[in-house]
Amino acid sequence: MKNLSRPEILVTGMGAASSVGVGRAALLDALLSGRSNFSVLSRPGRQFGTSFIGAEISDIDSLASLPERQLRIMSLSTKVALAVVDEAWRDAQLSSVDPRRIGLIIGGSNLQQRELVQTYTRYARAPAFVRPSYSTTYLDTDICAVCTEYFGIQGVAFSLGAASASGLMAVIQAATLVESGVVDVCIAVGALTDISYWECIALRALGAMGEHGSFTQPSQACRPFDRMAAGFIFGECSGALVVERADMIKRPNVKPYVRLSGWGISVDGTRSPKPSVDGEVRAIEQAMGRAELASQMIDYVNPHGSGSPLGDAVEIQALKRCQLDGARINATKGILGHSLCAAGVIETIATILQITASQLHPCVNLEDPIDPGLGWVRERAERRTIRNALKLSFGFGGFNTAICLSRQL
């Protein structure tokens, strides 16, 4: 039975941008068809005599309807954040909400590394000509500031970092702020992590980032939970979610997507990038306990599923320990790639779209699962009524997050 002492937290708006298209509709279409857009990364600053593969968003400058003068001093991450917040803002009809009661959380840190490398290279021999605006634009908080200015947000606003768990951490913090009454509405943004060749080289050396290898097509290298997986494949994404209390919604035409019924956070007490079964289990159990859901009530799990052999194996152990073997499972990163800080938000949006469409997207490239006994959605999309879903997101440094999403009846 639902805990009546807690207010209902609803998702009322969503915005998305990824390599498969801009907007919610484009994302759902690509997910259900299993369509990806992987290739050799071509954005300036991503290669240094290398051939890293991934998935990039096209036609960036058309995303935000701002004067060219303003766009020139905005980073890629900022432009895309504006676009996804704009879609979510319109979806939730926030223009009629008191701006003093709206909050904004930017999930992610060290978001603009490629932009910084480009600046250092451009002005290396003439540092006196660095533009004055760099004094603020190099900060991740500039993304937050630009969005609050553009949309007139005057409630709480800040950025947070939890490595690849940053996006889902932002969703959880947004829900907490709304539940406690600090604001009536809060927007959680998974910001685009704009990595440079430096990060690609380091992640490859660590063994975390995969490569083209022996595959004939770049799209074949991204293989969450498959025995041939050799690491994650990067994918540019950003997403925005609007959460608010059910009892505070006054706008008559707002139609909530789902209820955010539970969440959990745990840390492993380590600097290591290695995942922990115990830490993941704690986060999952917290989320299901808060949502008052037993394992057999979870119909679908959208896992972290990065394609890291170690990470995928540990996550499967955690799911089994939580008795989630019977749930249907797919891996959104197989289609979009790993968007790092934005992963938790864009994949929560993917989860919600599947719930509302009553369809689950296929597991792309899952040809030989490392554990064939789980409820994988295989080669084709599957029709399925999803009452309760679990979304997981983990990050280097022992950050573990989980949320439960429940269908609005």
pLDDT 10s digits, 105-123:
999 999 999 999 999 999 9
Instruction: Assign 72 a pLDDT band (cuts: 50, 70, 90).
Output: confident
What does the pLDDT look like over 316-326, one tens digit per residue? 999 999 999 99
Position 94 pLDDT exceeds 50 = yes
Residue 234 covered by a domain: yes
Same domain, 238 and 302: no
CA dihedral 176, 181, 183, 186 (to 10 degrees): 30
CATH number of the domain within which 377 lies: 3.40.47.10
Mean pLDDT over 56-81 rounds to 77
Per the structure, the count of domains in the chain is 2
Angle in degrees, CA 386, 220, 47, rounded to 5: 115
Residue 4 covered by a domain: no
Same domain, 215 and 297: no
Same domain, 213 and 74: yes
DSSP H helical ranges for 58-216 = 68-71, 76-92, 113-122, 134-137, 141-151, 166-180, 197-206
Same domain, 358 and 216: no
Residue 81 covered by a domain: yes
Contact (Cβ atoms closer than 8 angstroms) between residue 115 and residue 121: no
Residue 50 covered by a domain: yes
Same domain, 328 and 223: no
CA dihedral 174, 180, 185, 189 (to 10 degrees): -10
What does the pLDDT look like over 113-163, one tens digit per residue? 999 999 999 999 999 999 898 999 999 999 999 999 999 999 999 999 999
Whole-prediction pTM: 0.96
Residue 146: the pLDDT is: 94
Residue 409: the pLDDT is: 64
Which pair of structure tokens corresponds to residue 33? 């068809």
What does the pLDDT look like over 42-66, one tens digit per residue? 999 999 999 999 999 986 655 656 6
Q: Which of 248, 280, 309 is the last residue of a domain?
A: 248
Residue 20 covered by a domain: yes
What is the C-alpha separation between 82 and 206, in angstroms, rounded?
Answer: 33
| Nearest by Cα to 273 from 238, 319, 302, 306 | 306
Same domain, 222 and 342: no
Q: Which of 202, 218, 248 is the last residue of a domain?
A: 248
Same domain, 348 and 221: no
What is the C-alpha separation between 406 and 355, in angstroms, rounded?
Answer: 9
Residue 122 covered by a domain: yes
The pair phi, psi for residue 219, each rounded to 5°, is -65, -15
Q: Which of 188, 217, 248 is the last residue of a domain?
A: 248
Residue 184: the pLDDT is: 96
Mean pLDDT over 65-78 rounds to 77
Same domain, 217 and 267: no
What is the C-alpha separation between 83 and 101, in angstroms, rounded?
Answer: 21
Same domain, 234 and 177: yes
Contact (Cβ atoms closer than 8 angstroms) between residue 80 and residue 57: yes
Which pair of structure tokens corresponds to residue 333? 């990163």
| Nearest by Cα to 392 from 214, 165, 174 | 165
Same domain, 244 and 298: no
Radius of gyration of the chain (CA): 20
What is the C-alpha separation between 235 and 336, in angstroms, rounded?
Answer: 6
Reported as type and span, the H/E element at residue 289 is helix 277-291
Residue 169 covered by a domain: yes
Q: Domain limits at 35? A: 9-248
Mean pLDDT over 85-91 rounds to 96
Same domain, 19 and 165: yes
What is the C-alpha separation between 192 and 239, in angstroms, rounded?
Answer: 8
- Residue pointed to by tokens 């949320």: 403
Same domain, 159 and 306: no
